[in-house]
Amino acid sequence: MEFPAAEPYRIKTVEHIRRTSREERERILERAKYNLFNVRSEDVYVDLLTDSGTGAMSSEQWAEMMRGDESYAGASSYYKLAEAVREVFGFEHFLPTHQGRAAENVLFSTLVGAEGAGKLVPGNAHFDTTKGHIEARGARAVDCTTEEALAPETEYPFKGNVDLAKLRSVLDAHPGAVPLCLVTVTCNSSGGQPVSMANIRAVSELCRARGLPLFLDAARFAENAYFIKTREAGYADRSVREIAREMFSLVDGCTMSSKKDGLVNIGGLLCFRDEELMRKAMPFNIMYEGFNTYGGMAGRDLGALSVGLREATELPYLEARIGQVARLGNELVRYGVPVLHPFGGHAIFVDALRFLPAVPREEFVAQTLAVETYREGGVRAVEIGAIMADRDPDTRENRFPKLELVRLAVPRRTYTNDHMDYAAAVLGSVYERRERITQGYRITREAPILRHFTVELEPAGN
């Protein structure tokens, strides 16, 4: 007899959440200058802003936190983490950092340098902080994502793939200008879409033939490995951890925000295959993060991460995790909401251009939809569109990406399926009145880089 799938865990602690009225939310949005990062979490009913550091830790992780010691140098928890990194990733050399963008900072300080004018870092749809670190140094991030990623309704299984022809063209046109290539797994900015093993291998061969370092942004490595297992021929009978080890065997290192597939609330990793390259990075890690055996993290957090890396590669957990995201996607489809297909591993991405065709692009369509979602039912999401794309570093004109998306990022082991159904119903309600939404927002204040975190807006009709 077939039984319905259930989560492979029990709830032992609960956090109360409060539902606000629509009138309250109107005032909250006005105070927040229509930037959802400025909304207090206590004023959010279902928080899908991010899956970064918002998940629930297991009893084993909490127990390990209590065992960890807080030594400045050589804490026992550091050595437990080193063992987990070897076991799960296969890397002998790593530096802990306090989060993923810190690992990026150390890596780019090492390979790009402080003055990166004329340098290029190709990859697949670099995420906001990655692109910010590159552009802040005067270098340029070059998007080489496959064209299939720009077709929201198609079911192409690996929309995170690198277009090898695009990458080869960049390398041919700019010899000596590329300090490294970076592949993000899964690819957040293209809808949480996975990268196939065949594609990672092909990129690796291309980079190695030219003597270029290849790094993974491995924040969601376990979810990518799960999709390889379930979508790529020849991997169905391989374990998630075996697939992950093969992925990492093809690259020279990785950055990782451990707040995703490390299942912790704080932490990051910078891993290397080459010890000498790690030693070049060490001074930057000490300057920016702390000593090399704690990297800005408390010993207890190192211990929790050592457990979380292993738990994140367990198949029952991943089946439940990705299944819950798919449930949200299927519910949205039932309401007619246009979403990116196939569903990603950590989030559902709503196609804002199809959802709100009457809102002018210069009035930030995806941000408008994210604001309306909070206004409707207290569900917080995030814009992956023109505001996040920032301005062109040279012309200072707004960059309008081909896709304007609203990301509904699902925290790990945090919400029930009823919360997913509620969030879908809220979007469905907004969709019913979509034709009446014809006006967006204009920027009143913005930072010169990574503006979406602190941008201030007002309704365009004011």
Tell me which residues are annotated as active site: 72, 127-128, 217, 219, 260, 452
DSSP 139: -
Enter the tokens of residue 60.
């084993």
- Strand ranges of the sheet holding 382-384, from the earlier edge strand across to the other edge: 347-351, 405-409, 382-384
Tokens of 298: 């408390």
> DSSP 3-state assignment of 49?
coil
Number of Cβ within a 10 Å radius of residue 435? 10
The alpha helices in 49-163, defined as continuous H runs, are: 59-67, 76-88, 100-111, 128-136
Q: Both tokens of residue 28?
A: 């909250």
Helices (H), 150-274: 164-173, 197-209, 221-231, 240-249
Closest CA to 218 of 252, 243, 251, 254: 254
**Strand pairing class (268-272; 347-351):** unpaired
Closest CA to 254 of 283, 213, 292, 293: 213
Q: Order the strands of the 120-123 sheet from edge to edge.
A: 93-97, 268-272, 253-257, 214-217, 181-184, 120-123, 140-143
CA dist list (Å): 333 to 65, 105, 152: 41, 39, 13
Contact 266, 259 (CB under 8 A): yes
C-alpha pair distances (Å), 249 with each of 210, 212, 255: 18, 15, 14
Q: Check if the beta carbon of residue 369 is closer than 8 Å to that of residue 348.
A: no
